[in-house]
Structure 1
Amino acid sequence: MGERFKIQRPKLSGALQEKVFQYDEEIYYNRCIIKDCHIDGEGIESIRCDEVIFKNVTFDALSFRKADLLDCVFDHCDLANADFSEGSIHRVEFKDSKLIGSNFADASLENVLFVSCLTKLSTFGFANLKQVAFQSSSLNSADFYECNFQRVAFTECNLDEVNFANTSLKGVDLSTCTFEGLQVTWDSLPGCIVTEEQALAFARVIGLEIKV
């Protein structure tokens, strides 16, 4: 079994005021819910959100680059190709959301949960992930190149062709996940927890010839 840990959930006030998303030089949202809308995110940078729920929101060309997101929930949102690079993302949940092609490169993610999300082709290169869990999500061809993992979990996810090169998988349990192939380096593998069948797939990836 992999290392067990508990994700801290977003700390949300009991009653959140519904607000309309508006553009400003300094965008800051606190203790509110933004829902059932379409947001053109082009040109947004350094947004700050504290205790915010986004529900049924479609983001177009969203740039959350260098964003500061604390105690937030994205529920049934379309975040395809969203840019979260260099952001600080703490106690945040992504639920039943589309994150295809999203960019988390160089970001800091702590106590972040992805549940039933489409996260294929997303990139997390050089990001720091601490207490982050992916559950029942599709991560096909996602990129975790040279990431720093501290208590990261993948449960019942599709990891086909995910890139874990130069990222240590020590203590990471992939046994409930499915994949036909992964991109890994030899030093990524020590301590990774897999099934016997998955171990054979890893052996083939690193060039071993297996006699049956």
Structure 2
Amino acid sequence: MRARTPRDLNELPYLHRLTSFTGEMEREGSYEWIHFEGCDFEEVDGGSSGFTESAFSAVTFTRGRYRRSQFDDVWLHTVRMVGTDLSETTWMDSECDQAVLAGTELSGSHMNRVTFYNCKFDSVNARLTKLKNVSFVDCLLRDVDFGGAVLTNVSFPGSTLERAHFDNSKMTKVDLRGAGGLNIASGLEALKGAMISTYQLLELAPALAQVLGLTVKDE
């Protein structure tokens, strides 16, 4: 089933509580009911911070460090993350729309009930992540590494996967049927536990035969 459409800022239930962000982001900071709008965070160390019921609009993160931070019920729109360290972060009940993540570290992160809409992931390290109840809607995932990740109830409606890596990952109720493009560079054996369409199976057949050591001859 296709995920619902993203919410606008004025649809957030905590909108009336939001106050504009001022000052500098700090390590181990606590940010509740904050609206980050038009901010440019370059090489900021915001590690181990907590973001609760907050919104990010047109924010750019460049080479920052936010390791082990927590994002609980956050809303992100037109956010850019370039070379940003988000490893071992925790995400819950959040949504991200029209974001760009390039060269971003997400390794070891945990996500539960998170939806990405119209986002572009380019060369993202998502190794050893744990994704549960996560949807990628109309997204582009290029050179994303899910090596060793655990994916549970994850879907990709309308999304394109280019040169995705799933080495040693584990899938349970992963729905790939809605993906518009499915190009897997490595880790095809990890598709056990995933659902694909007949058309996708035919596209993947040559690569699957190679992984299984099958020789296909019609003579």
| TM-score of the alignment, normalized to the shorter chain, above 0.5 | yes
For residues 33 and 115 of structure 1, the distance between their equivalents in structure 2, rounded to whole angstroms, comes to 20
Q: Matched residue of 1:79: which SS?
A: strand
Q: Which residue of 2 aligns with 1:180?
A: none
Percent identity of paired positions between Structure 1 and Structure 2: 21
Question: Which one has a larger percent helix, Structure 1 or Structure 2?
Answer: 2
Pair 1:51 & 2:73 matched: yes
Task: Tell me if the contact between 1:75 and 1:97 (Cα under 8 Å) persists in the aligned partners.
Answer: yes
> Hey, what does 1:15 align to over in structure 2?
14
Correspondence for 2:142 among 87, 101, 120: 120
Q: What pairs up with 1:103-142 in 2 under 5 angstroms?
A: 103-142=125-164
* Whole-angstrom CA distance in 2 between matches of 1:106 and 1:198: 24
Segment drifting more, 33-42 vs 111-120: 33-42
How many positions carry a matched residue from both structures?
Answer: 190
Instruction: Answer yes or no: is the 8 Å Cα contact 2:161–2:179 preserved in 1.
Output: no
Q: Which has the higher strand share?
A: 2
Instruction: Tell whether the 8 Å contact from 2:65 to 2:86 is kept in structure 1 after alignment.
Output: no
Gaps of 5+ in 2: 29-48
Q: Distance in 1 between matches of 2:79 and 2:56?
A: 8
In 1, the alpha carbon distance for the partners of 2:162 and 2:187 equals: 12
Shift of 1:28: 1.1
- Give the one of 69, 80, 99 matched to 1:77: 99
Paired AA for residue 71 in structure 2: C
Distance of aligned partners of 1:101 and 1:174 in 2 relative to their CA distance in 1, 3 Å threshold: farther
Matches within 5 A, 1:162-181: 162-175=185-198, 177=200
Relative to 1, partners in 2 of residues 1:168 and 1:138: Cα closer, same or farther, differing over 3 Å?
Answer: closer
TM-score for both structures, normalised by structure 2? 0.75
8 Å CA contact 1:9–1:92 kept in 2: the answer is: no
Deviation at 1:165, TM superposition (A): 4.1
Give SS of 1:126's match: coil
Consecutive unaligned residues in structure 1, runs of 5 or more? 178-193
